[in-house]
Amino acid sequence: MFTLPELQQARRQIHEVFPGTPQYRWPLLARRTGATVWVKHENHTPTGAFKVRGGLIHLERLAREKLAPHGIVSATRGNHGQSLAFAGRRFGIPVTILVPHGNSTEKNDAMRAFGARLIEHGKDFDDARVEAMRLAQAEGLTFAPSFHRDLVLGVGTWALELFEAAPDLDVLYVPIGMGSGICGAILARDLLGLKTEIIGVQSVHAASYALSYAAGHVVETNSADTKADGLATRVPDPAALAIIRKGASRIVTVTDDEIAEAIRAYWTDTHNLAEGAGASPLAALMREREMMAGRKVGVPLCGGNIDLKLFESWVLA
């Protein structure tokens, strides 16, 4: 499905826009968890989250192949939409984004600032996604999904950078929203021929992939009621699930309280601000600290876009 030269070429394209992101070993996190902890700082991308890598690869191809003559439309809780808006501006493609009512005010503002037309619809991401697909038909727009080969290829470059800097990782925890982040990590690991164990992370309150992983088929949930909006998915993507079931050893679920504790740990131990999904891998490591003691562990801080009001009411409460 993918080759290492393809992944390396995607990284070159992304590095034309920004020079990758750093990865550091943080001693206070090591003391906290008992493990050697490598943090991949995807909160330092131009949009504050890892998704921009996939957006750049996807929209470059749409522009090159002239596949979005009237623009694109997609649905998001924020970071996917920011990535498309950022890339759309770069490649001259108009971008329309659907978000659910009550979505992050600051993420909405960021998408508008990057040039997107923003429309609020429905109670959650999946409602917004259905409306985005309807709007694509009604207005002749190209629908940009949240899981796609281009997105996996682009997003996989964060893991390529991390694995080249720390090739001897024993374990890598990766959050799961729609699946591009963990599938990109599996892709990079396999193409490099590494043995790193990859563990998915979801919210207890939005566990559709965890349930699907255990069942062996897609399991939809009735709600995804977590403050970690990047994890709030009710309907897994079948292609993503297939890759995860083949390439990840298991999926850990964490509570919102555990995620809040991890956000606080990032702030006190590294002075980096993490959003809920971005802190969930550390939350999983902190829960499994006894199991991971003495091991070399990677955790992507995949996004730092948390609203101030949410931070105050959830993390500082």
pLDDT single digits (tens) 282-301: 999 999 999 999 999 999 99
Residues 236 and 288 reside in one and the same domain: yes
Which domain-ending residue is among 126, 143, 160? 143
Which domain-ending residue is among 128, 143, 158? 143
Residues 230 and 117 reside in one and the same domain: no
pLDDT digits (tens, 9 = 90+) for 10-55: 999 999 999 999 999 999 999 999 999 999 999 999 999 999 999 9
Residues 138 and 177 reside in one and the same domain: no
Total count of domains within the chain: 2
Q: CA-CA distance, 244 to 251, in Å (whole number)?
A: 9
Band of residue 93 on the pLDDT scale cut at 50, 70, 90: very high
Residues 37 and 119 reside in one and the same domain: no
Residues 153 and 30 reside in one and the same domain: yes
Residues 184 and 275 reside in one and the same domain: yes
Residues whose CB is less than 8 angstroms from the CB of residue 152 and which lie 6 or more positions away in sequence, other chains included: 2, 54, 180, 183, 184, 187, 243
CATH number (domain holding residue 45): 3.40.50.1100
DSSP 3-state of 201: strand
Residues 229 and 106 reside in one and the same domain: no
Q: CA-CA distance, 56 to 67, in Å (whole number)?
A: 15
Q: What is the dihedral of CA 132, 137, 139, 144, to 10 degrees?
A: 50
Per-residue pLDDT at 119: 98
Which domain-ending residue is among 143, 162, 191? 143
Read off the pTM: 0.96
pLDDT digits (tens, 9 = 90+) for 107-151: 999 999 999 999 999 998 889 999 999 999 999 999 999 999 999
Residues 137 and 194 reside in one and the same domain: no
